[in-house]
Amino acid sequence: MIPVTTGQISVLTICGPTGSGKTSFALSLAEKFPLEIISADSRQIYRRMDIGTAKATHQEQAVVPHHLIDLIEPDQNFSVAEFVDRARPLILEIVGRGKIPCIVGGTGLYIRALLGGLAQLPASNPALRKELHQRELTEGSGSLFRELQQVDPVSAASIHPNNIVRIVRALEVFAARGQKMSELKAEHRFAEQPYRVLKLAPDFSRDELYSRINYRSKEMLTAGLVKEVKGLVADFSFDLKALQTLGYREVVRYLKTAISAEQMLDDIQKYTRQYAKRQITWFKKEPGIIWVDSSMKSGKVIQSIENFLLY
């Protein structure tokens, strides 16, 4: 079934917390719809980080084309803007092949930026950024936040007073444009959006989700997560930034401090559950997400997708 042309491109999205089976959900839908998957996962972009990121297996990738995984080496940087720049042409290519673009992942900012767009903000100014950070040190903690409250109270209301990175960025934008970041973002919201989107998220009870996370954490270690981390440390170092991500950092701690394997597993499970809770909070606030039967077999899900594509 191919999306009907309406002036906007129809895009299916499978989002939600870690451990909720987004990949398996998408693969099951690919049995009924001609999907190609675009990963929206900020860790699956790294090569050689397969087990700890729950990357689709080679067999799964052979069944359904997967895009935007294994893009860069673990010591390289990648921004949300780069994700959007790569994903948008891919969507057009997939549609051109007569297939349905399916965004799959749990990095909420990637999904929001791709589907809602990024406001055209000025480029960073390293010299100004350094100056602002120095002012925070010189004038005292909270001084930049108080300044932001004066020049852009709307942005200040959405930023935690301790989030110095976002505070500096908002002040940087104001200095560069003479316009508030909140105003630039508001103007962007009125711009025409290129996509029609159906956003689905697998729905599990908290206990079910945590049980899945605990089991998957054990499976990752059984599959060789420690060996994967040792290989990365050997070729890079313990200081590799990518190793500070969930799952990997706990293995690093195990290798560096000789905590027990039991403690390592417990830490991975605990911090993954906490991360999933934060993801749920994020996605519950995102508009338009339909939380669907965790069995993935509901006829209502299939019907909803068919109705969406026929619109």
Of 141, 174, 189, the residue that ends a domain is: 189
Cα-Cα end-to-end distance for the chain:
12
Of 189, 205, 222, the residue that ends a domain is: 189
pLDDT tens column, 109-150: 999 989 986 666 677 788 898 999 999 999 999 999 999 999
Are 252 and 301 within one domain? yes
Would 76 be classed as within a structural domain?
yes
Of 152, 167, 189, the residue that ends a domain is: 189
Question: Chain-wide mean pLDDT for the chain?
Answer: 90
Name the residue range of residue 156's domain: 126-189
Assign residue 229 the CATH number of its domain.
Answer: 3.40.50.300
Name the band, by pLDDT with cuts 50, 70 and 90, for residue 4.
very low
Name the band, by pLDDT with cuts 50, 70 and 90, for residue 80.
confident
Are 292 and 157 within one domain? no
Would 57 be classed as within a structural domain?
yes
Are 222 and 112 within one domain? yes
Q: What is the DSSP string of 164-215?
A: HHHHHHHHHHHHHHSS-HHHHHHHHHTSPP-EEEEEEEEE--HHHHHHHHHH
Are 86 and 202 within one domain? yes
Are 45 and 101 within one domain? yes
Q: What are phi and psi of 115, to 5 degrees?
A: -85, -30
Are 84 and 200 within one domain? yes
Domains held by the chain: number: 2
